[in-house]
C-alpha cells in the first residue's frame, strides 16, 4: 500500500492511494473545486455535489469504460492517432514516469 501527494505545475494537488494487498480492486476518485465536489466510483457512476445540491452521475450505456474502449478501437480501426479526450502516448509516458517516481520513492 502506498500514498503520494502530487503537486502539478498548474497548482492542482492530487492524492493518490493504492492498495494491492487486498483480494479485490475498487477504483474511486474524489475531485474538489471551489463550491463543487465529485465522488466517482470508477468511471461509470458517482455523485456530484454543487452548492449543497447533490446529483447522481451514471453511465447511461454511452460513457465510462465502454466509451473509452470504443474510442480506442475506433482510433486503431481508422488508423488515426489517439488524442483528446484520451491521453496520447506522450501523456501516457508522463503518467508512467510519475508512477515510477512514486514507486521508487516508497520507503520500507
Eight-class DSSP state of 43: T
Q: Are residues 43 and 64 in the same domain?
A: no
Q: Which residue has the higher pLDDT, 86 or 45?
A: 45
- Please give the residue range of the domain that contains residue 54: 1-58
Question: Do 44 and 70 belong together in one domain?
Answer: no
Distance from C-alpha of 45 to C-alpha of 38, rounded to nearest angstrom: 10
The closest of 96, 40, 81, 83 to 63, measured between CA atoms, is 40
Higher pLDDT, 103 or 24: 103
- As a whole number, mean pLDDT of residues 32-38 equals 88
CB 38 within 8 A of CB 31: yes
Shared-domain flag, residues 65 and 51:
no
Provide mean pLDDT across the span 58-74. Answer: 74
Residues in the chain: 108
Rounded to two decimals, the pTM is 0.59
Amino acid at each position: 500500500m502506498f500514498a503520494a501527494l502530487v503537486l502539478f505545475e498548474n497548482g492542482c494537488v492530487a492524492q493518490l492511494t493504492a492498495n494491492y494487498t487486498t483480494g479485490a480492486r475498487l477504483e474511486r476518485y474524489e475531485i474538489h473545486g471551489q463550491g463543487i465536489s465529485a465522488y466517482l466510483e470508477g468511471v461509470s457512476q458517482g455523485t456530484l455535489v454543487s452548492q449543497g445540491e447533490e446529483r447522481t452521475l451514471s453511465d447511461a450505456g454511452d460513457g465510462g469504460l465502454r466509451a473509452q474502449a470504443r474510442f480506442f478501437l475506433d482510433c486503431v480501426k481508422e488508423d488515426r492517432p489517439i488524442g483528446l479526450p484520451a491521453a496520447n502516448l506522450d501523456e501516457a509516458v508522463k503518467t508512467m514516469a510519475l508512477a515510477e517516481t512514486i514507486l521508487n520513492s516508497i520507503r520500507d
